[in-house]
Structure formats: C-alpha cells, structure tokens
Amino acid sequence: MQMNLTEIAQALGIDTKLIVTDSIITNVVFDSRKATAGSLFVPLIAARDGHDFVQAAFDNGASATLWQQDHSVPETVTNNYLVVKDTLAALQKLSYYYLHKINPQVVAITGSNGKTTTKDMTAAVLAQKYQVVKTQANHNNEIGVPITILSMAADTQILVVEMGMDRAGQLAALSALVQPDVAVITMIGEAHIEFFGTRDKIADAKMEITQSLKTTGTFIYNGDEPLLRQRARNITQKQLTFGQSAQNDLTIASIMPAKKQTTFSTNIDPQQQIVIPMLGDYNVDNALAAILVGRCYQVEFAQIKTALEHFQPTKNRTQWLQATNGAQILSDVYNANPTAMIDVINNFSQVPTTGRRILVLGDMLELGQQAAYLHAQIGQAISEEKIAAVYLYGELMQSLKTALAERLPVYYFKSGQMEDLIEKLQEDLQPTDLVLLKASNGLHLDRVLQALVK
C-alpha cells in the first residue's frame, strides 16, 4: 500500500491535528517489532495493551500510530498520532476504504479443514493470469483479514482471502468487510464444535460467508456435504459444486496416490492428468475447488495444471520431511479435527514403504463435551495391519488409548511429557520408517518435529 497520512485520517473521519508530518504510509503492523520506516502501528488491546508498545514502534522507525481515545495522549507529542474511538474498528474501516480504492476481485475461502491449502492452490492458479495477493500464514480473522487487505499493491487484480471463525457472526462480519465476488466453502467438520454444539450449527456459521456475496458472484462448495447442499438452496447467486461423487459439477474421474504427490483427472477431461505435490484425496478436493475458481476467471486448463503442480503449500500442512536418521516424516501439525485426522491417517496408511508406519497423534482441541467420543472414534481409521505403532500425547488422547487397547503397540504421554515422547521416538525410530505427526496447534507437536529433523 501507499497512502498519505492525511488520506488515512480522512478515510477514518478523524481530526488531523496530531499529525506532525504528512508521512507516506507503506505498511500497517500491530506488532511493534515489525515496525519500520513507513509503518502505521495499530495498538490493539488484547492480553496486553498495544499502547504500551507505541514508543517501541516509533523507536523501530514507525511513521505513525493509531491511538484509542480512552487512553491519555502523551503530553509531548513529537510523532504522528491518529486518535480513534477504537483501534481495531479503525483498522477494519481503513482496510474497507483501501479495498474499495484498489477494487480487486475478491475470492473468499473458508471451511472446517483445507481452507489454507485451498487458498494457496487458488492463488497459484489465478497468479497464472492475474496480479494476486493472498492471505499469509493464518491471518484469517478480524485482525488478519484487514492486514491482508492493506498489504495489497496498487496493481492487485484479485485478492484471495482466507476466513476463519470460532463463533457465530464472525464470518458474517468478515464477509461484509470484503464483499466477495466468489465465496468458497471447502468442507464442514467438527472444528470448534465446542462452541457450536452440532455440525448443523457449524454449517450455519460457515454459510455466513455468503451473506455479503455480490449478487453477480459465485458460490463454490463441497457438494458431497448434505448440510451445504441443503443450505445452498437459499442462495440466489450462481453455484458450482466439487467433490468425489458424480452429482457434482467437478469431480474426480481417476486418482493415483503416491508418497509425495497425487495424480488425478476430472470429469471435465478424464484424459488430462493433474499432479499436486501433496498426499491425500482430501487435498484433491481442495484442488477441485481451486480449479473451479480458476475457471470462473477464465484461466486456461494448461495454466491451472502448471500452477497446481508447482504451488507451495503453507508450512506444516501434509509436508514431507526427513529425520536425522533418514526416516520420512509427514508433518501435519498445524491443526486437527476428527474429519481431517481420519482423512490423513487413511491416506498415510496407503503410502508404500519397506519399513514401518508410525502414528504420532496429539489432542484435538475445541471439541467440547464430545471430545472423548470423537478421540476414541479415530481408532476406526487405524489398522493394525498397516500401522506398526501409535504414540499419543495429551489428556484427551487417553480415550484413543483405551479404544486401541491390545490392538497394536501404543505409547501414551500426558501433557508435559513431551521430552519423554521425543526420547522414546528417537530410540525407536528406524531409517526406513514413515512417521505421521498430527495434532491441534496448541499441542506444539512442531517441537517433536524439530527434535527429529535437527
């Protein structure tokens, strides 16, 4: 971005009297450590009050800061302060203004699982023909979406924005902010069921992404999910479906899994083979969504194929790495819900190997009263013929430990026993083994990964 401070003040409808110099703002940050010359610092109020770090932001070179009016402005002001009623609301208002100033097409993506991979695939497909900006990392909430918008260059043609949620109303607000031209729902799972209670209510919340979908827009969703098909009947905009059943607009004609890639074809052209550098039929579903978005924007099939073959997935999403001793590790430690865990275990179990297949699984969070049952259900996906051993970490995984009793070797570690888990794994792991690591991000299985690959 590039805007004068006075333009920003006018966009926010505030007094410019505390602007010392009309600086040019080139980026917006809410972490004072990332402030540089040209930064507008946004002091957000959370566990810690961002106003305590305003001076640090200026020390790092920030050109200006927002300042919430219920905080006393320093008596001596030598830097640029923009006083607003609420700093988060101001961040969102500024992003709304900037989005309409640049006026790109907007593709918004949500889902209980697969939204980040679908975002990465979609951005890669569209970048074959357009100037594209996409959500970085997991900046997909009421803070991250505005920051993503404000990161756009002036020549951006399409914004691909990921949207997450953990409560009702959140996606409605984000949809109103970006007003998508294309809205995508990857799937409905059990993520955040602690807060919603049922999958029906999760589906209702995911459908909020369509509330501000432009009347000329397109709704793309997983047609294998009855909860989405049912709710889509109330949507008047154009609709396209993807999935693995024949009822969908785009489906799989053939699929050939391999260790580090999946080859498939679609019903549109069964003779054309597409390769994605990822394991799993669930990732093929994500690719189907990206293909439909590409076709909405007239990207040629050859370009779509090239993009999917070479796209770079976000770190720790079904990513193959090598342990120090040569064992192969499939890292999927960013997040987990029951549907996603069962999918990745099923696909991992099919990977050819001359050694053993080992599972390292951690708790799945935010499952509420159904947590014990849903953890135990994972056992249905674990075959003693294909899995040699299971390592479990976390209090909730006790339910899976019980479900697997006497079926195959199980090593259980309570929360806080990660070092013991790592030590046992390092002792047991053989160079020919395949290992899957999967858990919610809050379990920090990335530390296990780091210990194995260092």
Binding-site annotation: residue ranges: 111-117
Say which residues have a Cβ less than 8 Å from residue 405's Cβ, sequence separation at least 6: none
**Where do the H-state alpha helices sit in 183-268?**
193-196, 199-206, 226-232
**Cα–Cα distance measured from residue 430 to residue 416, given in angstroms and rounded to the nearest whole number:** 25
Name 262's bridge partners: 257, 276
DSSP codes, 302-370: HHHHHHHHH--PPTTSSEEEE-TTS-EEEEE-S---HHHHHHHHHHHTTS--SS-EEEEEEPPPS-GGG
H/E stretch holding 390 reads strand 389-393
Residue 248 CA, chain-centre distance (Å), reads: 24
Could you give phi then psi for residue 164, rounded to 5 degrees?
Answer: -105, 170
**Cα–Cα distance measured from residue 269 to residue 126, given in angstroms and rounded to the nearest whole number:** 20
H/E stretch holding 96 reads helix 87-102
Could you identify the residue written with the tokens 């210990």?
451
Residue stretches of the annotated binding site for ATP: 111-117
Do 208 and 178 meet the contact criterion of CB atoms below 8 Å apart? Answer: no
Residue 217 CA, chain-centre distance (Å), reads: 23
